[in-house]
Amino acid sequence: MHPALQGLITIIIGVGGCIGYFYLSNLFIDRVLFPATGKNAGRNINRANMVRPWLFLFPAIFALGLYLAYPVVETLRLSLTDRSAGGAFVGLANYRQMVSEPKFWEAMSNNMLWLIVVPAASTAFGLLAAQLTDRIKWGNIAKSLIFMPMAISFVGASVIFKLVYDARPAGQNQIGVLNAVWMNFDGGVWSIIFLRILPAAILLVFAALMLYLIYTAGRPIVDRNATRGGLSVWAILLRGIAVIGAVWLGYLALKSVYSVFTANLPFGEPQNWLTILFWNNFFLMVVLIWIQTGFAMVILSAALRGIPEETIEAAVIDGANPFDIFFKIKVPQIMGTIVVVWTTITLVVLKIFDIVFAMTNGQWETQVLANYMYDKLFRANDWGVGSASAIVIMLLVSPILIWNVYNARKEMK
């Protein structure tokens, strides 16, 4: 039990040391450095009060600086140097090398796919679950069961879903749920309903949603009278990006509807889901969606409860149906929370590592940035390119960082 004992001693030393530091240093300025007695008492009290905050803050600032702020700068520096050349400055050579690697672009495009699908799906499922469970008696039990995957590690979830995706040769009993269900499809009526019509309907709904987004985001750009006071350059730029993104996604959705009907599905053959190129990304995303939905649900359900009753009552009196109430009264009022949930999940997605590492390790074209970086750092031992890809992750995160800081400052004023 040697490491456990070591752990116990560390807790005692660590916690005792921290408390001792705070207590003794506090005592030191009060009694020795600036005693609140004698002829300088007033001045000393003021001085002690000026020093004390920094005393309380010092350990935190030190740890934050050393473990988070310094590495950002240092990683940036490392990404511009070459380790094998003794740390010589090489400019953007590492970035050039990284950009020339197909694996990097595979990781980038997969990450973009993750960034679109996972936050959208988790937030949508979370909103759905929050709305459905809000008004029923056993809603709290349902909520905690949907929330439960939050406590499960990404690695544990990977094992859980490996069992779901497991494949046995044809002719044996399938032990993975997905293949067991798949083997029931034979190209008959049910197969057409579930594998052609249902996905096509979902895609069409998605395309319609994109059309609506293009309309709401694009109208103020074209029609200046739609918003009061006109738009700033930034707002036009943001809306323009949103419209272009929506057009592209809508086009993709419509194109997929066609392929859903023409795809030749291999009925009756057990599938190795994680080795089907492109689609295996989605099977990995399912794991994260499964984990994050509970988080989205908990936060959105609190936001839904915070909506003033009067607005809903007024809508009911005006004859709104439940769907109108949900989409036109409730959702607009919790838009701020939806954005927060979305960005939080986006942050998780950008750093996603464990799921890919445990399930495919980037094989079969499932590489993502964080795993690419790990590969570079600890398998290829190429610190330059590894740091460069870490900086790419940082760059992807930074819009959210700026947005968060901006909001926090606005709040404090």
Planar angle of CA 412, 400, 289, nearest 5 degrees: 120
Q: Which residues between 258 and 297 bind other proteins (CB under 8 A)?
A: 290, 293-295
Using the rule CB under 8 A, give the single segment among 101-109, 201-209, 263-271, 318-326 that binds other proteins.
318-326
Shorter beta-carbon distance to other proteins: residue 224 or 305: 305
According to the binding rule CB under 8 A, does residue 241 interact with other proteins?
no
Min CB(194)–other proteins separation in Å: 15
The beta-strand segments (E) located in 112-242 are: none
Region for 35 from its dihedrals, namely left if φ exceeds 0, alpha if ψ lies in -120 to 50, beta otherwise:
beta
The beta-strand segments (E) located in 2-134 are: 81-82, 88-89
Alpha helix segments (H runs only) across 351-382: 354-359, 369-374
Using the rule CB under 8 A, give the single segment among 107-115, 200-208, 271-279, 339-347 that binds other proteins.
339-347
End-to-end CA distance of the chain: 53
Shorter beta-carbon distance to other proteins: residue 194 or 215: 194
According to the binding rule CB under 8 A, does residue 11 interact with other proteins?
yes
Q: Which residues between 58 and 97 bind other proteins (CB under 8 A)?
A: 59-61, 63-64, 66-72, 74-75, 78
According to the binding rule CB under 8 A, does residue 366 interact with other proteins?
no
> What is the C-alpha separation between 184 and 268, in angstroms, rounded?
8
> What is the C-alpha separation between 412 and 308, in angstroms, rounded?
24
* Residue 296, H or E segment: helix 279-305
Give which of 141, 134, 118, 119 is closest to 302, Cα–Cα: 134
Q: Which residues between 117 and 136 bind other proteins (CB under 8 A)?
A: 128-129, 132-133, 135-136
According to the binding rule CB under 8 A, does residue 183 interact with other proteins?
no
According to the binding rule CB under 8 A, does residue 7 interact with other proteins?
yes
Shorter beta-carbon distance to other proteins: residue 133 or 281: 133
How big is the chain, counted in residues?
A: 413
Min CB(60)–other proteins separation in Å: 3
Min CB(152)–other proteins separation in Å: 5
Shorter beta-carbon distance to other proteins: residue 267 or 353: 353
According to the binding rule CB under 8 A, does residue 351 interact with other proteins?
yes
Instruction: Return the SS3 of 237.
Output: helix
> What is the C-alpha separation between 146 and 167, in angstroms, rounded?
26
According to the binding rule CB under 8 A, does residue 239 interact with other proteins?
no
According to the binding rule CB under 8 A, does residue 310 interact with other proteins?
no
Q: Cβ(352)–Cβ(117) under 8 Å?
A: no
Min CB(245)–other proteins separation in Å: 22
> What is the C-alpha separation between 74 and 63, in angstroms, rounded?
15
Number of residues that bind other proteins (CB under 8 A): 117
How far from chain centre, in Å, is Cα 159?
Answer: 21
Using the rule CB under 8 A, give the single segment among 100-108, 219-227, 241-249, 380-388 that binds other proteins.
380-388
Q: Which residues between 12 and 51 bind other proteins (CB under 8 A)?
A: 14-15, 18-19, 22-23, 26, 30, 49-50
According to the binding rule CB under 8 A, does residue 257 interact with other proteins?
no
> What is the C-alpha separation between 169 and 180, in angstroms, rounded?
12
Q: Which residues between 382 and 411 bind other proteins (CB under 8 A)?
A: 383, 386-387, 390-391, 393-394, 397, 400-401, 404-405, 408-409, 411
